[in-house]
Amino acid sequence: MILRRILRSLALLSSIVVAVPAAAELDCPSISQLAREFLKHHVIQSALGTEIEQRAIESYLHRLDTSRSLMLDSEVSELRAKLAGVFENLQAGNCGQIQAVHERLIALQAASEAHAKGLVADENFKLDESVEIRIDPDQRGYPKTNDERNELWRKLVHFQMSNYLGAGEKLAEAKRLLAHRYELRTKRLRELPQWEIYSIFLDSFATALDPHSNYLSPEAVEDFRISMSLSLEGIGVALSERDGYSVVERIIPGGAADRIEHGLEPNDKIIAVAEDGGESVNIVDMPLREAVSLIRGKKGSKVHLTVLRQGDETQRFPLAIVRDKIDLAEQAASLRFETRERHGKPFKLAILDLPSFYGDSDPGQRQCTDDVEALLKQVKEAKADGLLLDLSRNGGGLLEHAVKISGFFIRKGEVVGVENARRQMSVLSDRDERILYTGPMVVHVSRVSASASEILAGALKDYHRAVITGDDHTFGKGTVQTVTPLPPGLGALKITTARFFRPGGQSTQNDGVAADVVIPSLLATDDLGERHQPFALAGESRPPLYGSFANAIGPADLDSQVSGTALAELVKSSSERIAKSPEFEEVRVKLAEQRAHEGIVRLSDIIKEREESKVGDKVGDVKGNGANGNGKKSDAAKNGDSKNSDSKKAKGDDAEEHDPQVEEAVEVLADLVALTHRGAGAEAVARGGQ
């Protein structure tokens, strides 16, 4: 009851009343009013002072040229000066400065287009394999002179041409595709709707408050809803944009397109869309978001597509599909089992992958808490000796789900403190005495594990309930965002309204959750994490939140906790395996190369790797054919652990990639289970059994 009451009080934040006119779309007068709403509800920033104004302008200029390739350093200074006093003018309903900056951006993009087309128009054009470029725009900075910018543009063209040529295009076609690519960029800037020009500025203002506050357009709101609910209504394909075409990347198993014989295939191009009985709309060169909105629709309605398929001969054909509800199952929690031996004894280990804390306010929709509870019942029924909870791809989601799932592994206890702008702390606790899993447990994380996943990992770490494996620390996002709907046509505001604190009182902000057993990975770079985000909020700490419920797994509380002695053994065993592993040696080498090259990419290296990859693929094909005589996948590869692996030959889905980090986390779990079975007296690692 207490948890529900606190969650209801938090939910009230999402019903903030926003005083803006019910405009059909974002307009100039709305910008200033919505900016005030951000400041009114933000956890830290409450006033539009000089610092926030300057940060907003910097954020806006960076958004317009994220690659730092269009503008010279002097032009950035010029535009910065043009934007002085922009908020005062916005308050008066004057958006002239924003419009002037947009016109300047169009001119710069047109110049970039002309330069690129001039380069490839040269009959003597030849790929310059000696070019190299620093890929991090922040390290590279804006060009200082026209000559520097032209040279940067030249290098970019050669890298882009290399991509086309590496994909098998002839030189003439690669030139045409590149020219069309630049034409599209200029065309789309020129045709950008007025509301979208304004939305870029408003969103830039929001991110100047902190990295996670945003203005969400109506389309972005729909994308956010889909990502949380894991369902939408449409035809069930994943699309990407290539050279102005909406291209089918893969078919979602179980979706409407998957159920049609002789239907869509990966790499098909959808060139036109029509409602049943309606006029066909050409979507070539249409922004992907707009094309997707035409293809999506209500369950049971029919959409007519015109499809282009290239092979030995180019085919153009119509295809009608009845839209249906799509369950994005590949983003849902999943379970598999593996066996490891220690001292001659086999142990059955469960690996529960939770990519996000998905869910919906509608209790009839899919909820990750229900999925995880069902999977943990399977773990119990299978009599698994240990559990690995994989949060390494989990970027967060719904707070209440993280709290509830934490309670699946402890009898009672405080899970997270949520502190608002007035420094009022609400503590969310698990008061449900049910425990769904009591055995040895590892939680695997990475630098991209963020927000709600850090709450779960942090709580289980603070209670010594699980061993944390993975990168040295998680992402470090310790803030709460509230999504507040605006009147129809205006979208929503996503505002940082509170901060998280772990049961031990530490903030996850910036520092994240540290791993007990660090496993090397390519994500462990110097620039990945909250602390490296522009305008990230500072981390703080509070007194511990622990109350009277101290991780009571069973009647004898302390012998269910992971001990320091056990952790030392686990670290030692893992370090020895990693030191002998060729895969982790490769990780070390790649990280060293990244540091040595200081972020510089050489075209010659890319071409070399591409050629080596082609040779490797050919060797693999020969080995595959020799293995069973017909080139088919082995049963192990065909069956895998995906229930949908046979669906139309996976329809563009690759087989699950081998992940050495997860594999090492499984080995750590096996060590943990072995220690438990061996017994460690007063410092037992975890209470076994289910």
> pLDDT by residue (tens digit) across 116-152?
999 999 999 999 999 999 988 988 999 999 999 999 9
Greater model confidence, 541 or 267 = 541
Q: Which residues of 651-677 are buried (b: 16+ CB within 10 A; e: fewer)?
A: bbbeeeeebbbbebbbbbbbbbbbbbb
DSSP state of 541: B
Query: Residue 486 has which token pair?
Result: 């605006």
| Per-residue pLDDT at 148 | 98
End-to-end CA distance of the chain: 27
- Burial environment of residue 80 by CB neighbours within 10 A (0 to 12, 13 to 18, 19 or more): middle
Query: Residue 445 has which token pair?
Result: 């994380």
For the chain, domain boundaries:
23-209, 231-327, 333-478+503-585+664-683
Average pLDDT, the chain: 85
Query: What number of other Cβ atoms are within 10 A of residue 688's Cβ?
Result: 16
- Spatial separation of the C-alpha atoms in residues 293 and 220, rounded to whole Å: 11
At 85-105, the pLDDT tens digits run 999 999 999 999 999 999 999
| Per-residue pLDDT at 15 | 42
- What's the sign of the alpha-carbon dihedral 438, 366, 444, 403? negative
Greater model confidence, 164 or 56 = 56
201-205, 397-401, 516-520, 671-675: least confident range: 397-401
For the cut 70, the answer to whether the pLDDT of residue 478 exceeds it is: yes
For the cut 60, the answer to whether the pLDDT of residue 688 exceeds it is: no
Q: Quick check: do 231-327 and 333-478+503-585+664-683 share a fold? A: no
Nearest to 23 by CA among 228, 194, 275: 194
For the cut 80, the answer to whether the pLDDT of residue 12 exceeds it is: no
Nearest to 285 by CA among 161, 183, 397: 183
| Per-residue pLDDT at 566 | 87
For the cut 70, the answer to whether the pLDDT of residue 293 exceeds it is: yes
For the cut 60, the answer to whether the pLDDT of residue 649 exceeds it is: no
pTM of the model: 0.81
619: CB partners within 8 A, 6+ apart: none
Superfamily of domain 231-327: PDZ domain (2.30.42.10)
Asked if 425 contacts 416 with a C-beta cutoff of 8 angstroms, the reply is: no
pLDDT bucket at 184, cuts 50 / 70 / 90 = very high
88: CB partners within 8 A, 6+ apart: none
288-292, 310-314, 534-538: least confident range: 310-314
At 304-315, the pLDDT tens digits run 999 988 776 778
Q: Residue range 623-647: average pLDDT?
A: 33
pLDDT bucket at 255, cuts 50 / 70 / 90 = confident
Query: Residue 248 has which token pair?
Result: 């089918």
At 505-522, the pLDDT tens digits run 999 999 999 999 999 998
Q: Residue range 191-209: average pLDDT?
A: 97
Greater model confidence, 326 or 52 = 52
| Per-residue pLDDT at 561 | 63
For the cut 50, the answer to whether the pLDDT of residue 643 exceeds it is: no
Greater model confidence, 577 or 313 = 577
DSSP state of 560: G
CATH class of this structure's domain 333-478+503-585+664-683? alpha beta
pLDDT bucket at 20, cuts 50 / 70 / 90 = low
pLDDT bucket at 548, cuts 50 / 70 / 90 = low
For the cut 50, the answer to whether the pLDDT of residue 653 exceeds it is: no
For the cut 90, the answer to whether the pLDDT of residue 454 exceeds it is: yes
pLDDT bucket at 262, cuts 50 / 70 / 90 = confident
Nearest to 206 by CA among 52, 83, 15: 52
Q: What percent of the chain has pLDDT over 70?
A: 84
At 583-594, the pLDDT tens digits run 999 999 988 877
Greater model confidence, 254 or 689 = 254
| Per-residue pLDDT at 543 | 94
| Per-residue pLDDT at 231 | 63
| Per-residue pLDDT at 416 | 96
457: CB partners within 8 A, 6+ apart: 391, 443, 445, 449, 466, 468, 474, 513
Phi, psi of 566 (to 5 degrees): -65, -45
Q: Residue range 238-256: average pLDDT?
A: 83
Q: Which residues of 439-451 are buried (b: 16+ CB within 10 A; e: fewer)?
A: bbbbbbbbbbbbb
Q: What percent of the chain has pLDDT over 90?
A: 61
Greater model confidence, 420 or 679 = 420
Q: Residue range 8-31: average pLDDT?
A: 61
pLDDT bucket at 39, cuts 50 / 70 / 90 = very high
32: CB partners within 8 A, 6+ apart: 87, 90, 91, 93
